[in-house]
Amino acid sequence: MTDEALAFWLRAPGAGEIRRVPLPRPGPGEVLVRTLRTAVSRGTETLVFQGRVPAGQHDAMRAPFQQGDLPGPVAYGYLNVGVVEQGPPALLGRTVFCLYPHQSAYVVPASAVTVVPQDVPASRAVLAGTVETAVNALWDAPPLLGDRVAVVGAGMVGCCVARLLAQVPGARVTLVDVDPARAGVAAALGVGFAAPDEAVDRLGGRLDLVVHTSATSSGLGTALELLAPDGTVVELSWYGDTETHVSLGGAFHSRRLAIRASQVGAVASARRGRRSTAERLGLALELLRDPAFDALLTGESALADLPDVMARLADGRLPGLCHSVVYDAVPPVPRAQEAACSA
């Protein structure tokens, strides 16, 4: 291994670059990981890229191994799969998941990595953090046998939630999104699909549970319209600095509806005394044995292209769900070429 690594940094909102960074030698109880793949958490990371995290939330939104501070310069990210090249014998050569930013190699405590099951490919394992969010949401909900459920918003998180809900015996799950192309993804996940207006006309006022992930006011309004009396919307969206407008007139009070927040930063209260975050992440990786999650893997690129890719993801020019960064044989950067790494 070289004593340097390549890393994606947000130099300032809207401007990314690839930097060469020092790579320390691992000490006792630490591992050196060579990255195989990372993934862009499209909702959160594009808000970070655009500088849209409210100042009052900068500390709350820190990633576990974030370098620098919001709004920038900062190295931000948390979906990383790699191979342990130095560290305790039990981990050597193992494929692991870590909540680390986009970087070609890194050193962390051994306790910060989770071994990926042998039958889960690295390409799918990058979804572990997103599936972990979905696990937490189902613990917060929770769905019951035979429930009629909708997930409003067919992004990465919404699709992961829909797939887990589809495993609840007797549950009838509908994925709701404005993009008709998401119908194919819904079919691959084993759930139904509907556009918002169609869903309200067909399912409105009859659903036991709705999970909202679209991060739009209109999506939240649709979620409330779908609920049966005494039903709950589990709100998973992160809106950043976008103001949210929702009508609480109409049937909101007469049907005794509820909106409940769910956020992956803490284990859901229903399991907090009995499950650790490490156990929750381990469960997510076990669930990723399911090949249906491959439907979310819609694009990949090299690390060198990430500054441009992140800009196109943030402004919508690059569609898709989970975009992965591939690190196959990323070479060290000669010092004479350092300036050429910036985008």
Q: Answer yes or no: are the C-beta atoms of 172 and 150 closer than 8 Å.
A: no
- The reported pLDDT for the residue numbered 179 is 95
Q: Residue 329's pLDDT band (boundaries 50, 70, 90)?
A: low
Nearest to 135 by CA among 273, 219, 236, 260: 236
User: What is the identity of the amino acid at 101?
Assistant: P
Cα–Cα distance, 261 to 212 (Å, whole number): 10
Per-residue pLDDT tens digits for 2-59? 599 999 999 999 999 999 999 999 999 999 999 999 999 888 899 999 999 988 889 8
User: What is the identity of the amino acid at 269?
Assistant: S
User: What is the identity of the amino acid at 130?
Assistant: T
Percent residues over pLDDT 90 in the chain: 78
Cα–Cα distance, 62 to 48 (Å, whole number): 10
The CATH label, of 3.30.360.10, 3.40.50.720, 3.40.50.880, 3.40.50.300, for the domain at 130-261 is 3.40.50.720
Residue 210: pLDDT over 80: yes
Cα–Cα distance, 161 to 152 (Å, whole number): 10
Q: Answer yes or no: are the C-beta atoms of 137 and 237 closer than 8 Å.
A: no
Nearest to 57 by CA among 69, 39, 43: 69
User: Do you find a cis peptide bond into 169, omega within 30 degrees of 0?
Assistant: no
Three-state SS at 125: helix
Per-residue pLDDT tens digits for 97-129? 999 999 999 999 999 999 999 999 999 999 999
Continuous segment of H or E residues that includes residue 117: none
Cα–Cα distance, 131 to 150 (Å, whole number): 17
Per-residue pLDDT tens digits for 168-177? 999 999 999 9
Residue by residue, DSSP assigns 266-321 as S--TTTTTT--HHHHHHHHHHHTT-GGGGGGEEEEEEGGGHHHHHHHHHHTSS--S
Residue 283: pLDDT over 80: yes
Cα–Cα distance, 124 to 285 (Å, whole number): 9
CB within 8 A of 315, min separation 6: which ones?
none
- The reported pLDDT for the residue numbered 186 is 98
Q: Do domains 4-127+288-341 and 130-261 have the same CATH topology?
A: no
What does the pLDDT average to over 74-81? 96
Percent residues over pLDDT 70 in the chain: 95
Q: Residue 251's pLDDT band (boundaries 50, 70, 90)?
A: confident
Residue 337: pLDDT over 60: no
What does the pLDDT average to over 124-147? 96
- The reported pLDDT for the residue numbered 2 is 56
Per-residue HEC secondary structure of 33-88 comes to: EEEEEEEECHHHHHHHHCCCCCHHHCCCCCCCCCEECCCCCEECCCCEEEEEEECC
Q: Answer yes or no: are the C-beta atoms of 306 and 102 closer than 8 Å.
A: yes
User: What is the identity of the amino acid at 145?
Assistant: L
Separation of CA 247 from chain center:
28
Mean residue pLDDT of the chain comes to 91
- The reported pLDDT for the residue numbered 333 is 44
Residue 338: pLDDT over 60: no
- The reported pLDDT for the residue numbered 245 is 86
Domain segments of the chain as ranges: 4-127+288-341, 130-261
Can you name the CATH fold of 4-127+288-341?
Quinone Oxidoreductase; Chain A, domain 1 (3.90.180)
Continuous segment of H or E residues that includes residue 95: strand 95-98
What does the pLDDT average to over 305-319? 94
Nearest to 311 by CA among 263, 343, 333: 343
User: What is the identity of the amino acid at 102?
Assistant: H
CB within 8 A of 169, min separation 6: which ones?
145, 146
Phi-psi region of 77 (alpha: psi -120 to 50; beta: other; left: phi over 0): left
- The reported pLDDT for the residue numbered 42 is 85
Three-state SS at 4: strand
Residue 330: pLDDT over 90: no
User: Do you find a cis peptide bond into 180, omega within 30 degrees of 0?
Assistant: no
